[in-house]
Each structure stands twice: as structure tokens, then as C-alpha cells.
Structure 1
Amino acid sequence: MKNPRNLAAKLSLPILGALLFLAIAVWQLPDGVAGKSQQDTYRHLETFANVLHIVQQSYVEEIDAEEAIQGAIRGMLQALDPHSSFLRADDFKELQMETKGTFTGIGIEISMRDGVLTVVSPIEGTPAFRQGLRAADRIVRIDGESTKDISLMEAVKKLRGPKGTEVVVSIMREGWTEFRDITIVRDLIPIHSVRSKWLEPGYAHIRISNFQAKTTRDFRTALEDLQKEQEISGLVLDLRNNPGGLLDQAVQLTDVFLERGIIVSTKGRIREQNMIFEATGNGPAYRFPIVVLVNEGSASASEIVAGALQDHQRAMIIGTPTFGKGSVQTIIPLNDGAGLRLTTARYYTPSGVSIQAKGITPDVEVRNDDPALLENRDGAKPPHQILRERDLPHHIDNDTDAQRQSRESNGEEDELQQQLARDRQLQSALMLLKGVQVFGERTRL
């Protein structure tokens, strides 16, 4: 800095501490990562310190230096990409709870689009899902307060709360002329992300709603339970509206079906972020054909699974193009209990293709055009308005309850048939699996 003594005389201890932390961080950056010279970085830090000093001395009200510095950090990260953010200590704890599946809320994955809080995907079986929230819905208010310029973690805090309490979200959807208030009762978001059932004798359906710490274990258990009942002739792996989750769980789940080869690779700016995850071949060899269902709400970890099974020709992908979130976020804890969620790498499918802002293209594209699924409350059919990674501001560019076969009542059978009748994607998956068995041309898709 040009005049460190003069500057030090002006600044309070909290500001000096923050600048010292930043200076040490810059000094410890690996060669080539800092971008411009360290002297340029110090010069910009001096400008920041001067602005903070002026605000602290002259703003109409007294400010909290810690709040101001944290606000500056949040602004810096928000300028990077939609998935990088600063986590206060309580926010960090919330994130840790989420990956363990032990939180209460309404059950949606959210992001920011043009400064507006937007639904990426509702989680199946949650209050938000039952109330009809959809991908691309814009949340313009929460309990009457505008969400303009709200941070993601602030939104999460407002949407979460004790079980049984209500939150009113004001939703704007493509095709609507005004927003609508939807009252949602908070509940415990399902801990188990895996659900399985029989579609027909021999044809199993396993739905994964997100990737939590126990997802692969629960998935293996579901497969074993199904096989104890009868031999599986074909599996529908349903990843629709799965917003993602833990990378290691996506890798482990894919490993269940691959004997060898790359599952996913990641590439970042530093060596530690360049990793290759390969199949171990240690699990049982499942030979039955697989169809994976995806849609615009399938993102991140679910895209890793779909991409790997597709590239290895282990599964046929049916549905609509996925969200396209091909970036890796690393959670970096800080000394005061806070943390950084920072985008540190892109991930690549086994064939070396990045899906960032592109998504996974299904082998067979099938849309669910049933009026009951697309109909608005006023009865109008909206056009397909799909939110994907490429629609988010500052996105990173692309550089290259088990249901058994012996059901208790005809009512359950009727319900399943009604689901198949209105779900064209699931119907297509089942037909394809049955066709493979009938023709017997290949044991794998």
C-alpha cells in the first residue's frame, strides 16, 4: 500500500483485521492464481479500506464494521456466478444440516435469475411440491416482503422454520398476468431420498429426489429388497426434478452399475481440483437394462449420474434436456465458523464433455404434455418456460416406501395405472424396457 502508516491511523481494529486477513490470503495464493500482480491487489484493497473508512466516519448512521465487511464479501461472491456465496456461521450450520437431510422447510431448490428468486426444482413429496410449485416459478415475495436483491441464504432462512408453521410465497409464472399468493405449511423434508416400487411384475421404479449423505446406501437397500421379491427384468431410475446434492454420492451410486471406466472428472485452476473418479467394480454385477428419466429440473449430481450411464451405454436417457449445472462447489470453512461456498471446477462426463450451461440431451426426448400436469389454476395451458443453468446471470460458460408386487388393494393398482396414463415419460420408459426383453437383442441398453 502507498501509505500504510497514514492508512492505519485512520482505520479501526476490525477493519485492520479484515485487511490483514485479505493481505495474507493474497500473499498465500498459488503462483498464477492471483491473476494480476499482488501490488495491484494491494492497491485495490487500499481503495476498499478508504471507502470503508469514509462510510464509517460520514454515513448518516453509525455502521457495524463487521456487517459492512461481510456485505462487501457477499457482493464480491455474487459477482462471480450464481452458485458461489458467503455463509455466516448459522448459514454454514444450516447447509450442513441440509446435506444430512434433517431440516424443516417447504422443499425447493432455488437460485437467482435476473435478481429474482427463482425455483430450480421442487423436491418430490414436499409441501412446495404438493402446492404445485414448478421449475422456473419466480418468488417475488416471502410473507409480504419483496425478494428483490435478496441473497440465497437470506431466502433460505425465510423459507425454513419450525414444522407446522406457515409461510406465504408470492409466485409469478409464465402465462400469468399477476402474481399469486400460495400459503405453504412447513414440514420435515423427507430424510430418505430413495423411493421404490414395482410398475409391473419384473419392472422396478426407483425415484431419487436428491443426493444426501445416505442416498447410495438407501439405493442399494432398495435394490436388494426388490430383488428378494423377484428378479428385476428392467429398472426405471427416475431423476426428474432432482436438484443434485453431494458429488461423492452421485459417484458412488453410478458405481453400482459400472464395472470399469471413468464416472466423472473435474478440472479447476489449481491442481487439487483436477480429479478423476472411476468405477471400482466392487459391487454386484447388475445386468438388467436401465432407463433414466430426466427433465429440466434434473441438475448437478443427477446430471453426473445420467451423463456417466449414457456415455458408457449402460442406460437409455428419456425425458427433456437437463438443467445444465456442470460446476463443482467446494465448501471452505473459515475460522469464525462461517464458510465459503465457492465454484472451484467444472465437471466432465466420461467422454470429456462439459455440460455446463448445456445439460444432458436425452437419447429419446419425451415431454409430459398431459393437461392435468400443465394446467394453470385458471385452466390455461402455459407455454413451456424452462429455467436452466444458461439462463442464470453470471453463469460459467461451457468450454468444450417400497411398494410391493402383492398389493393390498385394487386401489393401489388403479392409482399406479392412473400415474402411468398421465406420465408419458414414465410410460415410455416402461415400454422401452419391455421392448428390450421381448426382442432380446441386447442385455444392456
Structure 2
Amino acid sequence: MPVDPSQRGFNAFGNNDTRSQYESIYRSIWAMIGNMYYQPEKLANWAEWEHKFDGKINSADDLDLAIQQMVESLGDQWTRYVTRLERIQVSQEQRAGLLGLGIQVKKDENGAFYIDYIEWGSAAHNSELRRGDNIIAVGATVLAGKSVKEANELLKGEVDTTVDITYAIKNGQKRTAKLAVAFTADQGVVAQVTDNNLLYLRLPDFENRRRTAEFLNAIKGVGEKMQGAPVKGVILDLRGNPGGEITESLVVASIFLKDGVIVTSKTRSGRVYSKQTYEVVPPLAFSMNDAVDGSNDFINSLLEAPMVVLTDENTASAAEIVTGALKDNKRATIIGKTTYGKGVGYATSTGPTGGVVTITGLEYLTPSGYNLARKGINPDMESDHPRGEVKDVQLLKAIEFLSNKNNNK
């Protein structure tokens, strides 16, 4: 998920985990949230939490529970605290072969559970389930009356087993999906040229520099195979891309933009807001030569050839930064579905008890100034992937669009 470079590596915790330090550790996290949380209007009653647990934190477990209650009071799904015991539980489940089904759920105002996110390549992704479907039961267990945490615990299964999910689509029709539980393989980067000389690029995430390097090397490999010849179009597939580091999204966006703003981030420190605008400068001759030896025509086509970005409801975070940059700069046509609508970044730190605190400390705007949080980025051309359809309808539409664009030149 996007992390502003200026916030990388913050330390909300002290280094001494003795019992006498528990309250000061708690208050340091309280102060950190109060200083950097991106929506200060939610902190109107924050003072009440500073001394709420004075004299009541006598162990590491007490500290974990106190911090968790404080953080959960914000009602922000991204600002959270994962206790040491919860992390141990996840590790034990993984070793025991208990895996998630690739579904994250939320509760609506009526208490019904709906799918908020589906992981690409997971058991859920390979089914007919879609974001927004209501989950009624997992196996024989009905979810009504459960908490979100309890529901997510049920949405797991042992490797090589099948889990039945009873769900309802928007018209209320009930259906059952049988999900085969298996490890989700690393999707990896895909870079290939189609028969009609279109460059198809699949980027599964913006996790780290290694992933970005894999992406750049894949593009370089294509350029070398083509001996520097240009492509007639580019398809960047960001469907199911959950995001990652904001720094990596800047690198990827710059591959396809000659110039222009990529994104503007907004952070808070006390009463002061700061804005950071990231722009692309025009390509420099020496950097182009270094990228792919002797293949300037190929590189120029990355900057100039007609382009499509494929998105879906699970395109999120850093992937939305790239989508917004290419759309607002009129570099690409967006085909698919409205993106997830995250629009925020956060900073994370591990404390002396082993718990991990994550604080939403950044929001970002697309080049046009659009705040996509909870709204997402709408496609220029909407294209659904019908339930049960074997063909990749959205990809076929992108190919057709670019082919027609080239034929009409």
C-alpha cells in the first residue's frame, strides 16, 4: 500500500519493553496518531484516550489490548493494530496449511456481509464471486450476527479441501460457490507482444523495488527481442493489483509519460499540512540509451503509442496512482471497472511486544486534483467480466480498441 517516502521507518515505540514502560509506550502511540493521522476531524475526542488505561496496563497483553481498543475507536479500516498473539496465530495457521480464500468482507448498515476485496489468483478470484456480493454462509455456518473479525476467520480452509460459500448477487438471487483451497502462486510480471504488435504488460503489485526491477527487465527484454522496433500499442493490466509502495508507482508511471504530474500527496504534522507533488520531466537522451541499448524507437513507442490500462474493482492504492496519472494526462484510455477507491497511504512500525501499528498518514490526489478515496477511478470504457465467462472479455476489448485506433490512423 502507498507509503510516502518521508514517513518511511517511523518509530512510535521506545526500545525498553519493561513493565514500567508500558504506559509510556501506549502514550507514544497515542501521540503519534494525534500528530499524523490524516483526518484530524476524527480526533475531536482523542484527549480522552491519553490516560484511559492509566494503572491498568500490567503486562504485554494488557498493552496490546489497550492499543487495539484505542486504534479501533477511529473506525478506520487502514489504521489498525495487530497484536503479537494475532501475528503468531496467522503464522501457525500458515504452517498448519490453513489458508485464506482471498476474500475480505465488510458489514453494511443492515449488518449484512459483503465482499470488499478479492485477491487476484486466489480461490475466490477463480470463482464466480464478485466484489459487492453478499456472503450469507461459509459451509454450514451462517454469518448473520458475527463480527467482521469472526467472519474473516471463517473464510479460510485447509489446503486441498473445498469450502462452500453461500452468497447473493445484487438481485437477491442466492448461489453457491465451491472454492478449492490452494496456495496462491506468485503471479509474476508478464511482458509479451501480440500478433498485431501490441505490447501486453501485466503488473501484479507495486510491492517493492524488486518487483519494479522485474517489470523494467521484462520490458527491456521485449525491446531487445524486437531489436528496438516500436510497438503499435500498449496494454497495462492492473486488474487485481492491490498496490504497494508509492515510490514504485512513480517509476512505473514515468515509463509511459513524457512529462506531467503523476500524483500529489498530502500529509499532516500537528496543525500543519504538507503537499508533495511528483512530476515527470521530459526524457533525457542519455537515460533513454541506458534503458534499452539502441532501441529508442521502442522506448518512444512506450511514451507515444496508443495505450490502454485495464482496471477492475480490485485495482487499488499505488495501482490507482498510476491509473490516475495516465488518465488525467490523457496518456491512456481506461477500460474495465471502477477501481477500489483507496486514496490513502500509511506508515507501519513493530513494537517491543511484537504488535504492529499501522497509521493512515497520507492521502493523495490525481493530477486533476481528484480525491478517489471511497469513490475510485471510473473507466473511460466500462467492460465487465461476466460470471462464468471463460474468455478474457476485457482484454479482448482492449485489443480491439487499440487495433481499431491503429486502423483509423
TM-score (norm 1): 0.66
Structure 2 counterpart of 1:429: 398
Query: Given the alignment of the two structures, is residue 20 of structure 1 paired with residue 24 of structure 2, yes or no?
Result: yes
Question: Is contact 2:121-2:187 (8 Å) kept?
Answer: no
Query: Given the alignment of the two structures, is residue 202 of structure 1 paired with residue 197 of structure 2, yes or no?
Result: yes
Query: Given the alignment of the two structures, is residue 134 of structure 1 paired with residue 103 of structure 2, yes or no?
Result: no
Mapped partners of 1:95, 1:244: distance in 2: 22
**Aligned match of 2:71 in 61, 67, 77?**
77
Name the SS of the counterpart of 1:252 in structure 2. Answer: helix
Name the SS of the counterpart of 2:201 in structure 1. Answer: strand
Q: Percent identity?
A: 23
TM superposition shift of 1:90: 6.8
Mapped partners of 2:245, 2:201: distance in 1: 19
Residues 198 and 23 of structure 1, relative CA distance in 2, 3 Å threshold:
closer
TM superposition shift of 1:74: 2.5
Question: Is contact 2:101-2:181 (8 Å) kept?
Answer: no
Residues 29 and 88 of structure 1, relative CA distance in 2, 3 Å threshold:
closer
Amino acid at match of 2:407: V
Structure 1 counterpart of 2:6: none
Structure of higher RCO (CA pairs closer than 8 Å, 6+ residues apart) = 2
| Post-superposition CA distance 1:417-443 (Å, at most 9, x none) | x736xx1x3233222212332233xxx
Aligned length: 356
Question: Is contact 2:204-2:238 (8 Å) kept?
Answer: yes
CA RMSD of aligned residues (A): 4.0
Question: Is contact 2:139-2:166 (8 Å) kept?
Answer: no
Amino acid at match of 1:221: N
TM superposition shift of 1:86: 0.6
Mapped partners of 2:190, 2:27: distance in 1: 50
Structure 1 counterpart of 2:353: 336
Mapped partners of 1:212, 1:338: distance in 2: 22
| Post-superposition CA distance 1:269-326 (Å, at most 9, x none) | 2269743333364454423221111122222121111100112221111223222111
Residues 35 and 209 of structure 1, relative CA distance in 2, 3 Å threshold:
closer
Structure 2 counterpart of 1:6: none
- Structure 1 segments unaligned to the other structure (5+ residues): 1-12, 54-63, 97-102, 374-417, 441-445
Query: Given the alignment of the two structures, is residue 366 of structure 1 paired with residue 360 of structure 2, yes or no?
Result: no
Structure 2 counterpart of 1:240: 239
Question: Is contact 2:26-2:67 (8 Å) kept?
Answer: no
TM-score (norm 2): 0.71
Query: Given the alignment of the two structures, is residue 219 of structure 1 paired with residue 236 of structure 2, yes or no?
Result: no
Hey, which bits of structure 1, 4+ residues long, moved more than 6 A? 27-36, 92-96
Mapped partners of 2:252, 2:24: distance in 1: 44
Amino acid at match of 2:223: Q
Residues 31 and 304 of structure 1, relative CA distance in 2, 3 Å threshold:
closer
TM superposition shift of 1:117: 5.9
Residues 225 and 44 of structure 1, relative CA distance in 2, 3 Å threshold:
closer
**Aligned match of 2:305 in 288, 294, 311?**
288
Mapped partners of 1:32, 1:303: distance in 2: 23
Name the SS of the counterpart of 1:344 in structure 2. Answer: strand
Amino acid at match of 1:124: W
Larger radius of gyration: 1
Amino acid at match of 2:64: Q
Structure 2 counterpart of 1:346: 363
Amino acid at match of 1:275: Q
Residues 17 and 352 of structure 1, relative CA distance in 2, 3 Å threshold:
same
1:235-314 equivalences in 2 (<5 Å): 235-270=234-269, 274-279=275-280, 281=283, 282=287, 284-285=299-300, 286=302, 287-314=304-331
TM superposition shift of 1:359: 1.4
Residues 41 and 191 of structure 1, relative CA distance in 2, 3 Å threshold:
closer
